[in-house]
Structure 1
Amino acid sequence: MRIQAACVESIGGPFIIRDLDLEGPGPGEVLVRIRAAGICHTDLSARQLWPRLPMVFGHEGAGTVEAVGAGVKNVGPGDNVCLSYRSCGTCDQCATGQTAYCSTGINALNASGTRPDGSTALSRDGAPVHGHFFSQSSFATYALAHERNCVKIGDLSPVLAAPLGCGVQTGAGTVLNVLRPEPGSVLAVFGAGSVGLSAAMAAVAVGCTVVAVDPAPARREAAQQLGATVIDPAAADVPAAIRDATDGGPHHALDTTGQSAVISQAIAALRQRGTLALVGIGKTAEFDVMTVMTKGLSLRGVIEGDAEPALFIPRLIELHQQGKLPLERIITEFPFTQIEAAAQASLAGEAIKPVLTFA
């Protein structure tokens, strides 16, 4: 079938909308008409280095099932779905509910640019186009997903549902599934983008005090509106400011930046036996090991909020329905045709969670 998709055609290049051909769903696959798609920092980072081009990104899709392939049982035509990451469902990690750490899923199922067998369902004028990003590539009018990464959302707006598949799941999941803070405890969030603010919303929902650190005024304002105390890293000794604001330091911290200097600030700010969750993409970090040891700190890497989408996304929807996860406060809508403008607004800190909408 003929679709429109936003292609990246050179490393670090812009999103360019092209007419492509998309195969119908094979075994286990689900054809989804995309109604909304969130732009995540991972999409913007990946296009800076992705070697297999042209490529269609997008991994926070939401829409309506149009058709299903052989063997699909959990969703059918007409179902409204949110798309998340894919896992195999059979490895030791999946068998224990830790699908975010699927032994085969991280690359083969989500980040290879093809199906696991090396094929691609996308083409242009007969030439293959890479896709299947997080088993969806939802920067397109239609996407080919898999039964395992489709979650029914009922009548929830696709604009609100789209970010649940990754950014909101990561932030809120890190709080609710990993840190599990006690009511009255303190969480420091480093980086108040969509992941950080989702963590802040979840922490406030369970009765925590939140401190948010971010250099962008718009993001600090959004964090403040959500109930957080905010700190401008350019105007303060960040660890000291956090300790002063929290009567001795936070019990928990969450870093979304992946930056060594910021991770060091989080470690310095934490109180004794605190926990730091690392969710930001980064390569290396240097920090004071002695501080970690003498304060008895725990450092924990987290993927996708330790969440199993089929179970956790319904929980997020329930929190939103209860008014405890006000997603609309962080979302800015852009027409799909303005995808590059949306990406630039995200990079500039002007839009916290850009969500593309489709006519």
Structure 2
Amino acid sequence: MKSVAAINREHSKPLEIGEIDVDDPQPNEVMVKVVASGICHTDFLVRDGIYPTALPAVAGHEGAGIVEKIGSNVTTVVPGDYVIMAPGSCGVCKTCRKGKPSYCVSFETLNINGMRLDGSVGFNESGNPVSSHFYGQSSFSQYTLANERSVVKVAGDVPIELLGPLGCGMETGAGSIINSLAVRAGESVAVFGAGSVGSAAIMAAKLVGANTIIAVDLSDQRLEFAQTIGATHTINSSHEDLFTRVTEITGGEGVDASLNSTASGTVTRQAADILGALGRVGTVAAPPSGAEVTFEVGDSLLKGWTFKNIVQGDSVYQSFIPELVEHWRAGRFPIDKLVTYYELTDINRAFDDIESGATVKAIVRMPQ
């Protein structure tokens, strides 16, 4: 199948629009006609050579579309179904069997290296291999391939062009609050970084009934927006003292849960230091390999606080993504407030607008 795609050819260079060939699906795969794909921070890691994805490559991992073809062993979807795509997982390792696909022992091969588990790829350009299956989908392509485990069927009456980010950024932010940190009604939450993942976390905190939701960022514009989606308080840490403000807001108790959606180790330390007794702190961004964070564990011992690295919001994709769709339907998870649409030919402008802060969540429409 011929497909128009945005191709990474050189690190730290703009993506190029070109034509690739997409293989027919293998027995356990689904071919999806991609309607639209969000852009996430992880796509920058491919573009800029932080991830070891072999070039040329097609990235993209917040795709949604319509099933075009299915492999001979596929039973959960049929051509014509609307689907949201999620990361790849093997389904048979210890963590997958425990219902934790985000921590699959083959996660790097299935999601980062740009290949199937057997080392093959599903894309080529004039017979030359192009890395595919990025985060289980490589959705910056008009047509793509995904393992059956990576497609989540949704109702045919949803605006499918909107919902792709539920497969990564929105799922990660919401899942971090709901699943990983288990925030409950009446608790207090601080979210560091008011980008797309942080915004999803803020909306989720409101959804579960947190009574104090503090957004922390360096941008007044993003902080003002955070208040429209659920933040009860904001702190611009570029000129406000974080610890003084959190003490004021919480009456000296500290927060029950704190989430760092940035890649900064310094911010992770700050997020831990503002916790109250039995507080929980998590981090979701991807810092460089070898990055370290130091924590104070003397005076804070009696707090009994916990730290967690979080991948994909500890979600079981097949159940959590449909839950988020229903929350969106009910107006409890208004992701449409975050979105700016771009055409595929404008994908590099979309990347630039994310970096500059001009848009919170960019969604790229594919040619139809």
Give matches, 1:93-132, under 5 Å: 93-104=95-106, 106-132=107-133
Q: Which residue number in structure 2 is paired with residue 27 of structure 1?
A: 27
Q: Which residue number in structure 1 is paired with residue 363 of structure 2?
A: 355
Q: Which residue number in structure 2 is paired with residue 255 of structure 1?
A: 260
3-state DSSP class of the match of 1:251? strand
The counterpart of 1:280, out of the listed 285, 288, 295, is: 285
Q: Which residue number in structure 1 is paired with residue 220 of structure 2?
A: 217
Q: Percent identity?
A: 39
Q: Which residue number in structure 1 is paired with residue 337 of structure 2?
A: 329
The counterpart of 1:73, out of the listed 72, 75, 82, is: 75
The 4+ residue runs of structure 1 with deviation greater than 3 A are none
The counterpart of 1:301, out of the listed 309, 314, 318, is: 309
1:135 Cα deviation after fit:
1.6
1:292 Cα deviation after fit:
4.3
1:28 Cα deviation after fit:
0.6
Q: Which residue number in structure 2 is paired with residue 17 of structure 1?
A: 17
3-state DSSP class of the match of 1:254? strand
CA contact (8 A) 1:62 1:158 kept: yes
Query: What letter corresponds to residue 346 of structure 2 in structure 1?
Result: Q
Give matches, 1:28-107, under 5 Å: 28-49=28-49, 50-51=51-52, 52-104=54-106, 106-107=107-108
CA contact (8 A) 2:89 2:104 kept: yes
C-alpha separation between the residues in 1 aligned to 2:122 and 2:250? 52
Distance 1:286 1:14, change over 3 A: farther
CA contact (8 A) 1:267 1:291 kept: no
CA RMSD of aligned residues (A): 1.3
CA contact (8 A) 2:65 2:161 kept: no
Query: What letter corresponds to residue 194 of structure 1 in structure 2?
Result: S
C-alpha separation between the residues in 2 aligned to 1:218 and 1:140? 32
3-state DSSP class of the match of 2:76? coil
1:291 Cα deviation after fit:
4.8
Q: Say which is worse superposed, 309-318 or 235-244, in terms of deviation.
A: 235-244
3-state DSSP class of the match of 1:128? strand
1:353 Cα deviation after fit:
0.7
Q: Say which is worse superposed, 164-173 or 88-97, in terms of deviation.
A: 88-97
Distance 1:63 1:185, change over 3 A: same
The counterpart of 2:180, out of the listed 178, 181, 185, is: 178
Q: Where do 5+ consecutive residues of structure 2 fail to align? A: none
CA contact (8 A) 2:64 2:163 kept: yes
Give matches, 1:123-202, under 5 Å: 123-154=124-155, 155-202=157-204
C-alpha separation between the residues in 1 aligned to 2:153 and 2:343? 24
Q: Which residue number in structure 1 is paired with residue 244 of structure 2?
A: 240
1:26 Cα deviation after fit:
1.0
CA contact (8 A) 2:342 2:364 kept: yes
3-state DSSP class of the match of 2:214? strand
Aligned length: 358
1:182 Cα deviation after fit:
2.2
The counterpart of 2:348, out of the listed 324, 336, 340, is: 340
C-alpha separation between the residues in 1 aligned to 2:319 and 2:8? 33
3-state DSSP class of the match of 1:310? helix
C-alpha separation between the residues in 2 aligned to 1:203 and 1:313? 17
C-alpha separation between the residues in 2 aligned to 1:173 and 1:43? 20
C-alpha separation between the residues in 2 aligned to 1:268 and 1:219? 23
1:294 Cα deviation after fit:
4.0
**Deviation digits for residues 103-161 of structure 1 (CA, Å, limit 9, x no counterpart):** 22x11211111111111111112211112101210001111111100001112212321
Query: What letter corresponds to residue 128 of structure 2 in structure 1?
Result: A
3-state DSSP class of the match of 2:322? helix
Q: Which residue number in structure 2 is paired with residue 268 of structure 1?
A: 273
3-state DSSP class of the match of 2:222? helix
**Deviation digits for residues 211-268 of structure 1 (CA, Å, limit 9, x no counterpart):** 0111123321221111211111111111221221222221100011121211121122
CA contact (8 A) 1:61 1:165 kept: yes
**Deviation digits for residues 163-209 of structure 1 (CA, Å, limit 9, x no counterpart):** 00001111111111122222111100001111111111011011112
Q: Say which is worse superposed, 188-197 or 290-299, in terms of deviation.
A: 290-299
User: TM-score, normalised to structure 1's length?
Assistant: 0.96
C-alpha separation between the residues in 2 aligned to 1:214 and 1:159? 29
C-alpha separation between the residues in 1 aligned to 2:109 and 2:151? 18
CA contact (8 A) 1:256 1:281 kept: no
3-state DSSP class of the match of 1:188? strand
C-alpha separation between the residues in 2 aligned to 1:233 and 1:291? 24
C-alpha separation between the residues in 2 aligned to 1:179 and 1:250? 12
